[in-house]
Structure 1
Amino acid sequence: MPAHRRALGVGAAAALLLGGAGPAAARPAADRPAYEVEVAPDYLTADVGGTVTIRPQIYASRPDGSQEHLAEGEPVGRRMTLEYALPGNTTPVGVGKGCRKLVTGWARHVTCTSVRPLTVRIDRALVAEETTVTVRRAGWAADSGGDRLLLTAPVPQEEGESRGSREGRQKAGAVLLGVAGGFALLALFLGRTRTRRAVWVSCAVVGLLCAGPGVWSMTREPLIGAKSYVRYRSGPPVLKIPDTLWDDGWIRSESRPDGVPRITTAPDRGHEDVTEVSGFFAPYVDEPTGTPGQWLTVDGAYGRIEDPRRARDHMLRTAAGAPGATVAEKPRLFLLKSEEGIAKGPVLFKCQVIVVREQHVHQCAWADRGVRALLSTSGGPAFSDSGDPLLGTAHDALSVREYVQLGGGF
Structure 2
Amino acid sequence: MSVLPPLSLYIHVPWCVRKCPYCDFNSHESQGDIPEADYISALIEDLKQDLHWVQGREIQSIFFGGGTPSLLSAKAYDTLFDGLTRHLSFSENIEITLEANPGTFEAEKFNGYRRAGINRLSMGIQSFDPEQLKKLGRIHDKEQALRAIDMARDAGFDNFNLDLMHGLPDQTPEQALLDLDTALAFHPPHLSWYQLTIEPNTDFYKRPPVLPEDDILWDIQEQGQARLAEAGLKQYEISAYARPGRQARHNINYWRFGDYLGIGAGAHGKITIAGPEGHRVLRSQKARLPKRYLDQTRQFLSATDIIASDDIAFECMMNALRLHSGISITDFEQRTGVTLDSLSKPMQKAESLGLIERAQVNNQDYIRASERGKQYLNELLSLFLTD
Fold equivalence (TM over 0.5): no
Q: Please report the TM-score for the alignment, with normalisation by the length of structure 2.
A: 0.19
| More strand as a share of residues | 1
| More helix as a share of residues | 2
Q: Please report the TM-score for the alignment, with normalisation by the length of structure 1.
A: 0.18
Higher relative contact order (CA 8 A, sep 6+): 2
